[in-house]
Amino acid sequence: MKILVTGGAGFIGSNFLNLFVPRYPDCRFINLDKLTYAANLLNLKNIQAKQNYVFVRGDIADYSTVAAVFEKYEPDIVVHFAAESHVDRSILGPADFINTNILGTFNLLEACRKYWGDRPGKLFHHVSTDEVYGSLGETGYFTEETRYDPSSPYSASKASSDHLVRAYHRTYGLPVKVTNCSNNYGPYQFPEKLIPLMILHALEGKSLPVYGTGENVRDWLFVEDHCEAIWTVIEKGNVGETYNIGGNNQWKNIDIVHKICDLLGEKLDKDPQEFKKLITFVKDRPGHDLRYAIDATKIRDQLGWKPRETFETGLNKTIDWYLHNKDWVESVKTGDYKKWLEMNYGT
Ligand code: NAD
Ligand code: TDX
């Protein structure tokens, strides 16, 4: 079995490869990644020398690159993570999101159509987000039937890619599966996202920028639980179907920031107030969705998946990881991340 993983040098893709390359030595994993600012080959240092793993640098928005990978490696399964993934960046500059998330997905689908034809045993697994559903009010959950209503250029580009994937199934019979997951956290997450940004800013004594009033709610899932869910859907899910993934773990942003400060206080034997005094309420994100919450009944009842980590255990692991992986942290503080920080926070 040959598995093409796109975006495998990013946060979730690298966690996926770190879990499954060693676990399935008879599968060959091909990681196709452009290595944008969000990628880091250090994420993959534990598997880079494995016989069943190969890295290819390339842009999915370029069809000839995708076609060359299909010709050379003849994948049976595509697990499609590659994307521009940060909402704030999509607001500042949507073009890359349209290019990678829509055109890139289209190119992969076209390659599957051309190189797979009607052959059996193939699968395109599309990794998507709950943000395609837009915002919930104070109550309710997103199910697989919730109407799409994306708010940001990022979520609109992901919604568009989801529609293309389903259209290729209906029109051409391409074997596809789609998963829409809630917010992930864990090791190797680029520190532009809420949880790693707060951990690293607190450690450096920088301000902790909370958007608006901090009342927005996100539904958090430990990244390895997401990866296991994807594998479960690949193995057991029905072709042509969608599965929502989430751990029913909703938190207001401000409460998460307090929790991180409390845990850092405990771990470093410091007064959490030292960190909490860094909290600064800043201008809200335009089009900021109020609340996300996933109803994961389908994947739980039909496929038997459930998360292993609680928020307590997952957040502890995550903070410990950022405390103990200074090389990785230093490596992302150079280059593009630094520019992003300077542009947004003037530091
Ligand atoms: P990430 O930004 O950490 O990583 C994205 C990876 O894709 C990077 O390695 C990058 O180099 C690569 N990439 C970007 N453009 C590319 C291109 N044109 N060609 C080839 N590679 C390219 O993102 P992530 O958080 O790991 O998210 C992975 C996927 O999961 C995305 O599709 C995202 O929409 C989805 N998702 C993320 C979350 C989350 O909370 N992070 C939740 C649900 C779904
Ligand atoms: O500095 C910050 N301050 C703040 O208050 C940042 C970076 C975020 N926030 C808020 C905005 C959101 O309400 O925290 C919440 C989480 O923000 P992000 O980490 O940027 O995640 P979000 O916008 O919810 O999107 C994430 O989850 C769904 C991923 O980035 C997406 O790729 C995924 O699809």
pLDDT digits (tens, 9 = 90+) for 73-119: 999 999 999 999 999 999 999 999 999 999 999 999 999 999 999 99
Residues 281-299 have pLDDT tens digits of 999 999 999 999 999 999 9
Contact criterion met (CB below 8 Å) for 83 and 158 = yes
Distance from residue 127's CA to the centre of ligand 1 (Å): 9
The Cα 308–Cα 125 span in angstroms is 22
Distance from residue 177's CA to the centre of ligand 2 (Å): 25
Residues 205-251 have pLDDT tens digits of 999 999 999 999 999 999 999 999 999 999 999 999 999 999 999 99
Reduced to 3 states, what is the DSSP secondary structure of residue 291? strand
* 64 pLDDT more than 70: yes
Q: Is 155 near ligand 1, meaning CB less than 6 Å away?
A: no
Given the residues 33, 59, 84, 130, the one annotated as active site: 130
**Residue 33: active-site member:** no
Specify the residue with its C-alpha closest to ligand 2, atom 26: 183
Q: Taking the domains of the chain in order of start, what are their residue ranges?
A: 2-190+221-249+290-309
**Residue 322: active-site member:** no
Specify the residue with its C-alpha closest to ligand 2, atom 2: 194
The Cα 45–Cα 258 span in angstroms is 33
Specify the residue with its C-alpha closest to ligand 2, atom 28: 183
The Cα 292–Cα 313 span in angstroms is 22
* 347 pLDDT more than 70: no
Distance from residue 81's CA to the centre of ligand 1 (Å): 5
Q: Is 69 near ligand 1, meaning CB less than 6 Å away?
A: no
Residues 49-60 have pLDDT tens digits of 999 999 999 999
Q: What pLDDT is stored for residue 338 in this prediction?
A: 79
Residues 325-346 have pLDDT tens digits of 999 999 998 877 778 878 877 7
Q: Which helix (H) or strand (E) holds 218?
A: strand 217-222
Task: Let me know how long the chain is.
Answer: 347
In the predicted model, what is the mean pLDDT of the chain?
A: 97
**Residue 131: active-site member:** yes
Specify the residue with its C-alpha closest to ligand 1, atom 1: 10
Measuring from each residue's beta carbon to the nearest atom of ligand 2, which residues come in under 6 Å? 85-87, 129, 131, 183, 193-194, 197, 209-211, 216, 218, 253, 285
The Cα 16–Cα 19 span in angstroms is 5
The CATH class of the 2-190+221-249+290-309 domain is alpha beta
Contact criterion met (CB below 8 Å) for 242 and 281 = no
Q: Is 39 near ligand 1, meaning CB less than 6 Å away?
A: yes
pLDDT band at 31; cut points 50, 70, 90: very high
Residues 129-177 have pLDDT tens digits of 999 999 999 999 999 999 999 999 999 999 999 999 999 999 999 999 9
DSSP state of 205: T
Treating both helix axes as pointing N-terminal to C-terminal, what angle do 253-268 and 194-204 enclose, rounded to 10 degrees?
A: 40
Q: What pLDDT is stored for residue 336 in this prediction?
A: 76
Given the residues 59, 131, 162, 228, the one annotated as active site: 131
Query: Letter for the amino acid at 144?
Result: E
**Structure tokens belonging to residue 162:** 């989801």
